[in-house]
Structure formats: structure tokens, C-alpha cells
Structure 1
Amino acid sequence: MQYREILDQLRTHVASLFQAHKDERFVYHNLHHTEQVVENAVRIANHYQLSDRDFFIVMAASWFHDMGYLFDCTQHEVRGESIAAQFLAEKEVDKDTIALVGGCIMATKMPQSPVGLLQQIVCDADLFHLGSDSFKERNKLMRKEVAAFCNKEIDKNDWRIKTIALFKAHHYHTDFCQQLLNDKKAQNLAEMENKLISPAEGGTTAVSTTGKTKKGEEPKRGVETMFRISSTNHQRLSDMADNKAHIMISTNSIILSVILSLLLRKLEDNPHLIIPTLLLLIVCVVTMVFSILATRPSIPEGVFTPADIEDKKVNLLFFGNFYRMSLSDYQSGMLKMMDDRDFLYGSLIKDVYSQGVVLGRKYRLLRVAYNVFMFGIVAAVLAFIVASAIVM
């Protein structure tokens, strides 16, 4: 099955349908939105390294998922599935694949209830913007579109209430989107809640969905979001560093095994290869040492004193500072920290700083490992070439 060729034809077909049934009221559910969903689906699908057939299913569903809006806004998923099935059948796509594409389209119906990874990818791609920087712009377009079809202006506050309800009912289904988008989605939700207007107070005070005043809440939310995002980013960078170190260790382990099993046996018959071989051996060992040092954990004593709590010197958010303490001592310290705003935020600052220090050490050692490997491999190869040329 020529999936790539069919996708190219599919893309052209969808664009022509949008052009033929163009409606100026569709400022949200238009070709641009569909292209964005497809782009999001490609990003998610590439993360999971789907097979060609599964990738085709996700892409086809993403292209057709909102086509039904052009014909029936109330049952657009059903119409979209029908349009997709008709087109794919004409391209002689097998019935099982067509059924899976239709299942992915129907899974986007609210409330979303996807079954399996492929449906989860399409659903997350469709509402990807809820956890992105483009949410505000997309939300305004959606409100404008609904107003155009209802022929009446929609109150901003009423729209926020409905959108907040959507946010709280929605969750991303794939691990990839949860890690990538949940923080920004929470930030977008917090901003909407802070802008929500209480009708009883004449539209002047930001309140929560329970009607309680949130005076001074926005800075607090911003600080907490900052700490959460910083900690998450540091964790991702740490994971990246560990993966890079693992690549170096694995690569040089293979080279070392080749050297020890093959080259060393031939040095007696080829003495001119002794120096290049030793050079390569040293390069691999040094690279492995620095890579291992980059991932080698260092653990503090794991004990704190009551004086440390009183002076607010200990960071109770890091396990290395309390893993040898009793539960009662740790619980007592945590309660004191949670009751003291300065102590709490000071601990968060220390935690972020400590993560940064550890990351700095990891990346410095990794840079040394990569430099040794890069320049060492070049030097070793040149040494082998020179040695071989001398013999010849």
C-alpha cells in the first residue's frame, strides 16, 4: 500500500473540499485548524515511532476529523467519518484500515473517550492548543465562530465559565502530551479563573469558580507555576544528560570489546598498529570514565537537626537531606516549612538551584567526554592511516 502517495492525494482532496464549501463563519474550524491538528499529530506520532500503516491511520483521521462541519455541524464526526470512508474506499484502502480511521475520528467527539494509542494521538492533537501558547488566540476564534452561527454576541464571562468546565473535564491521554502540555494547560486555566467575573460584584473582582475572591492570587499562581516549570525543565535536561552519557558508554563499550577481542591478537604480527591501538584504547577508557562520572550519583549525609529547621537552612524537598531521618522528625520539619511562607519558597529556591548545580556538573563532564571522544577518534584514525602508510 502506497500510504505516502494516498496521503498526498488526501491532503489535496481535503483542501479542495474546504475551498468548495468555504464559509466565512468558520474562523476556527477551517483548513488552518486542520493543518495544525495534522502538524500536532505528526509530532506525537513521531515520538511513538508508529509503523507506516498506523501513521497513515492517524494522519488520515486528522485530515478528516472536522470535515463534517462543512455539511452538518451537529453530527460532524459522523459526516467526517463518512467522507473519509468514501475517499479511502475509492483509493482501494482495505476495510480494516478504513474502520480504524473512522474510529479515530469518532473518538474526538466530546467528551473524548479514545481507545488505544492511535485514537489517543488524534484526540490529543485535536485539543493540543489547550496546553499551548496559542490557546488565547484559538479560544477567541472559537467564541467568534459560535457567535456567528448563533447570530448573537456571547458574553465573555459566560464563555470563560464554559471553557473552564471544558478544561476541568479534559485530560491529555498520551504520556507525551501530558509531560509536554499539562503545565501550560494549568497556567491557561489559572489565567481564565483569575479573569472570571462575579456578577454579584458588578464585574470588578476576579473570582474562582466557587465565587470566592482571588485578590493577590495571580502573583502566587505565577510563582508556583514558575517553580513547577523550572523543576520540570531541569528534570528533562537531567534525563537528556543521562541519555547522552548512556550513548557514550554504550558506544565506547562496543569499541573496547572490538579492540580487546580482535586488534590485540594481531599486534604481534602488526607491531606498527600498537601505538594507534593504544591511542584508541585510551580515548575509549577516558570517554567512558567521564561519562560514568556524569551519571555517578552523590548522596549527602541524609540528616538534619532541629537547629537547621529553626534557621531555615535545610532543603526538605531533596531526599538527600532527610533519608536517614525518622518519619516523625521529617513530618515535623515539613509542617513547620509549610506554615512558613519564606521557609517554603526558600526551600523551593534551594531545590531549583541545587538541580542547576547538578546539571552544570553533568554537562561539564559530558562536554569533556564528547570532546575526548571526538578529537580522540580523529587522532586514532589518523594514527592508523599513518601507521599503515609507513608499512606500505
Structure 2
Amino acid sequence: MDTTVEATDKFIFQLFKNKLPNTFIYHNYTHTKRVYKSINEIIENSQIDVKDAKTLRFAALLHDSGYTVSRENHEEESVKIAVDFLKKQGVEEDIIEGVKNCILATKFKNTTPQNELEKIIRDADSSHFGKDYFEEASEFLRQEYISQNIHNYTAEEWLEENIKVLVENHQFYTDYALKNWQPTKEENLSKLLNKRKKNKEKFQKEKTKAKLKAKYKNDSPERGIQTFYRTALRNHMKLSDIADTKANIMLSVNAIIISLVLSNLISKLDNNNYLIIPTALFVLFSAITMVLAVIATRPNVTRGEFTKEDVEKQNVNLTFFGNFHKMELDQFEWAIDELLKDRNYVYKSLTKDLYFLGKVLDRKYRILRLTYTIFVAGTIISLIAFALFFYLEQ
């Protein structure tokens, strides 16, 4: 490496290290060295004289130095830095002028290069389009735009942007680039097009899937029927649990009342005859309340059997254990298989289960209502009796 070129390389490395913000994920020293390497590829495989080669190497190393000053018009800033540095290095004026032109040629990417040097620097600056690391470099550039709040491209938007650049806004100019980089560029473009196609297919598939799912969810009566049975049966079971809890409360409260009465009042009845009737009423109402609470929760005894004819005529509800608990396993499995063959039989069984659960609940709540009524009335009557007999005794 020429000593002045080597000095330029060291200068750029220190300049980027000290002054380039870390948000420059793409336009940094790594990119500069890639452009420099691509310049050398073209130089080594083309008929270029020593002075032009030196000009190109300087331009490759210095073309993005202006990013340390400003992103806007960084090419002009790069020219200022390059001219100042190269003059200090004693580089010839015609080489410096060539470097200036090459750097400015990277700015107007939609214009045609004016000479061979401009073609070479333009091809080298965009050589990543024709390299295997294109996807990696492209993603670095996207992240740079995002980190600097220039444009928050999504992955899909960036894919479209890359396709547009490769198809419409870029071309290689030198023979070496056209021969060696163009085929890889076309492969990269093909990958992007295939990716876009797959994304569209995936999007369409997901859209169709979501549409069908929504249609099934909204239009299918089957789902609505299942939801109805599930909700109704769950609500009935909750109501049954509530009824049992209320009955247990009545049992517990009145058992405590009777225990207290027997332990405290019975022993005092010999000397307080006027307490006999109120105490008897109190115990009687409590006992009636307990009996009704037990009746409310008392299970019904079922025969637990069914016949083959019952299943064939769909007269047995196989969703309730009381209709099959005495049957053999093989008979029950056969009956379930018959049940599952006919959707209407399934719904009919669920309907029966729902209906008889409702009948059980009706019985429980009627008895519970009577139980609470007797408990309240008995408590009031007993208290009045205690007060009345106590008053008459005075």
C-alpha cells in the first residue's frame, strides 16, 4: 500500500473513531473498507494507470468522511476534508481534483458518470448490491435510518424499497462489475422477489384463515349451540351448589340452636314451668327447619340401568350418572358410541340433562324458601312466646 494511501486509511479510522456518531450503523469504517476493497478489485482487473488508481483509492477512503460533520450534503463536507488532508500530505493537485470529482460523483446516483473514474467509484460504492453480504448490509442501512429518525421502514416496506432500487435506480457501469457483480445482483433481486411472493402468499393465507375463522365463529350455529349448553349447564350447577350451601347453613345454625337450648334451658324448666311452651316452640321450629334442609339436599335414588331398546329409541340420558351407574363397562361404552354417532341424540341428552337439573333446582329452591320462611317465622314466634310467658309470669 502506498504510504500516502496508508496514511489516509489511518486518518479515516481515527476520524470515524473520534467523531462519527454510533448511530451510523452502515456508513462507517466497515463500509469504507468494503468500498476500498471493491475499488482494488476493479483496479487489479482493469487497465488503469498508477495515478488514476491512487486517485480512486483516496476517493474510496475519503468519500464518506463528511458524515462526521453532517448527514446532509455530506459529499461536499467529504470534499473539504479530503482536500485539506491531501494537501497536508503533499498530494498533487490533479490527483486532488480527481478525488473531488469522484466523491461528488457518488452524490448524484441517478445521473450518468462522466468518465471512467466516476464509473469505477460509483460501482465500488454500490458494490454490495452484487455481493453475498447484500442482505446484511441492507439491514444495517435500514437500522441506521431508524436510529437516526430518518425513516422508520418496516421489514415489508424495506423489501419493496430494495426491489425498487435494484430494478429501477441502479446499474453497474464498468466491464468488471457487469461481468462479476451483475450476476450476484440478479440473484439478490431474485431472492427479494421470491421473499415478496412468499410474504404475499403468507399474508393471503393468513387473511383467508382469519376470514374463515371469523365466518365459522359468527355463522356456524354449531358453535352457538355448544356455547348455549355449556353456559346453561354451568349456571345450573352453580345454582345447585348455592342451594346446597344455603341448606348446610340452615342445618348448622339450627343444630347449634338446639344444642344450646338442650344444654342451657332444659335443666331450668323444672323451676320455670312458664318456659316449657316457648322452649318447645323454639326447638320444634328448629327441628322442622333442619328436616326441610335435609330434604332439600337429599339425593334421589335412581335405578341406574338402561336397556338396548332405551338407547335405540333415545329414551335414556347418558350424560347423568344416575342412569348408568349399575351398567357394565362394555354396555356403557356401546351406548356412548351410539350416542356420539347421532348429533341430535347428543343434543337431546344435553337438553334432558338441562331440563331435569332445572326440575331438581326448582324442588331445592322451593323447599329452601319454605325452610327459610319457617326458620324466620319460628324465631319470631318463639321470641314473642318467651316474652309473653315471661310477662304473664311476673
TM-score normalised by structure 1 residue count:
0.49
TM-score normalised by structure 2 residue count:
0.49
| Higher CA-based Rg | 2
